[in-house]
Amino acid sequence: MTFLHADGRDLASPNQNSLVVRLDLGTRHLLLMGDAEAGGRADPSETPKPGSIEADLLACCQAALKADILVVGHHGSRTSSRAAFLAAVGAHDFIVSSGPTVVC
């Protein structure tokens, strides 16, 4: 287990305190993004906003981001998972945490 982001300061948004963890399971790697964001709502083709967790991770540790499976940040919303970040991770499987599905 490698912690790629852990910031315990009192920040404006609790999402900025999200832990980002890479689990190495033999030859497989799983990247857990928590509620990490790339900035405000934006098109996925835009680059992560400077100072966001995705931008910080791209700047500091691209090699450590490589993973087979990505649990996408912030529930896969438009505040996370920018194309540049997804390309750096290079995952082939993705998990999106979301609420229950209601069938009527």
Rounded distance, CA 101 to CA 104, Å? 10
Is position 46 within any domain?
yes
pLDDT at 1: 95
Is position 76 within any domain?
yes
Is position 13 within any domain?
no
Provide the pLDDT confidence category of residue 66 given band limits of 50, 70 and 90: very high
More confident: 15 or 68:
68
Is position 72 within any domain?
yes
For the chain, how many structural domains are there in total? 1
Rounded distance, CA 29 to CA 44, Å? 23
Give the model confidence (pLDDT) of 36-59 as tens digits.
Answer: 878 888 888 888 989 888 999 999
Is position 5 within any domain?
no
Is position 100 within any domain?
no
User: What is the domain range of residue 41?
Assistant: 21-95
pTM of the full structure: 0.84
Provide the pLDDT confidence category of residue 73 given band limits of 50, 70 and 90: confident
Is position 14 within any domain?
no
